[in-house]
Structure 1
Amino acid sequence: MGALLDLSEENYRLLLRLAPELRLMQGRALSCLDHGMDLHLEVLEQTPYTSLLHLTYFFPHAGGHYPDPDANLRVYHDSKQVDIVDLRQSALPLKKWGDNPTLEQRWKLNLFLSKWLAFCVIQGHGFGAGGPEYASSRERWVVS
Structure 2
Amino acid sequence: MSTLEPINKSYWLSRVCEANYTRLLTLIPHLLTLPVGVSARADGTPGLELELLERSPYTLLIELTHSFTWEFGALSEPAVRIRVYLDAHTTEVLSAKERPYVFDIMRHDAEAREVMDYKWSLNYFLALWLDHCIASDYQFRRPELMQDACYANA
**TM-score, structure 2 normalization:** 0.76
Tell me which of 81, 99, 102 is aligned to 2:105. 99
SS in 2 for 1:102: helix
Query: Which one has a larger percent helix, Structure 1 or Structure 2?
Result: 2
Structure 2 counterpart of 1:71, one-letter code: V
Measure the CA separation in 2 of the matches of 1:60 and 1:22. Answer: 25
In 2: Cα distance, 1:60 partner to 1:103 partner: 35
Match for residue 39 of structure 1 among 48, 51, 68: 48
Q: How big is the shift at 1:61?
A: 6.0
Task: Decide which structure has the larger Cα Rg and report it.
Answer: 2
Deviations 1:75-97 (A, max 9, x none): 001101111111126xxxxx656
Does 2:39 align with 1:28?
Answer: yes
Pair 1:14 & 2:23 matched: yes
> Could you tell me how far apart the structure 2 residues matched to 1:103 and 1:131 are?
40
Q: 1:102 to 1:32 in 2, by over 3 A?
A: same
Could you list the runs of 4 or more consecutive aligned residues of structure 1 that deviate by over 6 angstroms after TM superposition? none
Aligned to 1:92: none
RMSD, matched Cα? 2.1
How do residues 40-55 of structure 1 correspond to structure 2 at under 5 angstroms? 40-55=49-64
Question: Any conservation in 1 of the 2:95–2:122 contact (CA below 8 Å)?
Answer: no
Equivalent residues of 2:42, 2:141 under 8 A apart = no
Encode CA deviations 1:6-29: one digit per residue, 9 max, x unaligned: 000011110000111111112111
Structure in which a larger fraction of residues adopt strand: 1
Task: Tell me the distance in 2 between the aligned counterparts of 1:71 and 1:54.
Answer: 5
2: CA distance, partners of 1:129 / 1:60: 25
Q: CA shift at 1:56, angstroms?
A: 0.5
List per-residue Cα deviations over 1:82-115 (Å, max 9, x = no partner).
11111126xxxxx656332611121111111000
TM-score by structure 1 length? 0.81
Structure 1's unaligned 5+ residue stretches are: 90-94, 134-140
